Amino acid sequence: NLASRICKTQLPLLGLYPDELEFKKCFEVILEQEKLGYIKQYGSQWVHFYTGRIGPLCREVIKSHQYDKAKDVQAAMFDIFGEQNLSCINTSAKADDIQAFKNSNKIKEAFKCLFETDDDNILPYIEVIKKKAWGKKSITKRDMAFTLAVCEIMLNPRHPKISVGDDALRNRFNMYWVSI
């Protein structure tokens, strides 16, 4: 439907964690271009309609894109490190297997490598992972924060899971977004 298509159009422009108000404003601009007078037709009920129907639909589209991109980042990370430096693990592995994975020397070393900087204060591993995961797209600071968040969730020995859940991803994204 139109709302879903508009959401998908906006995501490449606003990133995977768009500001709610900015997203709504952009959505309305595109909607008015597509369906002139549509918002006026709803009048004062537009905010209620957007909040109740369109907003939740857009959040689902955004969440789907976040998970797809997280898979791209994870695949890029495993490609960059290679199997000799990063063991493979199933995301549905049991807690004991995840703990053993995260406590292995390979994983600890890979995690440490993520945050080592070069002479220009750049994180080389994150840069390469980011380029592989995002392709030729012009990469934003939000994309960088997202890449860091996904890599940290997967490799941080103090984080008990390897799956990228909403809260963990959002919290780490916000932490990196503020610090970049």
Residue among 119, 122, 127, 138 nearest 77 (CA): 127
DSSP state of 99: H
Segments forming the whole domain that contains residue 140: 68-179
Domain boundary among 33, 64, 95: 64
Environment class of residue 139 by beta-carbon count within 10 Å: exposed (0-12), middle (13-18) or buried (19+)?
middle
Pair (97, 167) in one structural domain: yes
Length of the chain: 180
Pair (79, 134) in one structural domain: yes
Q: What is the pLDDT of residue 23?
A: 87
Pair (172, 107) in one structural domain: yes
Tens of pLDDT, residue by residue over 68-88, are 999 999 999 999 999 888 888
The average pLDDT across 146-161 equals 93
pTM, whole model, 2 decimals? 0.85
- Integer angstrom CA distances of residue 12 from 2, 54, 168: 17, 19, 22
Number of domains in the chain: 2
Domain boundary among 21, 38, 64: 64
Q: What is the pLDDT of residue 48?
A: 94
Element containing residue 93 per DSSP (H, E): none
The CA angle 45-55-52, to the nearest 5 degrees, is 45
**What percent of the chain shows pLDDT beyond 90?**
59
Q: What's the rounded Cα separation, in Å, for the pair 171 and 18?
A: 14
The average pLDDT across 128-144 equals 89
Tens of pLDDT, residue by residue over 100-121, are 999 999 999 999 999 999 999 8
The average pLDDT across 169-179 equals 92
Tens of pLDDT, residue by residue over 12-60, are 777 777 888 888 998 899 899 989 999 999 999 999 999 999 999 988 8
Q: What is the pLDDT of residue 12?
A: 72
Q: What is the pLDDT of residue 136?
A: 84
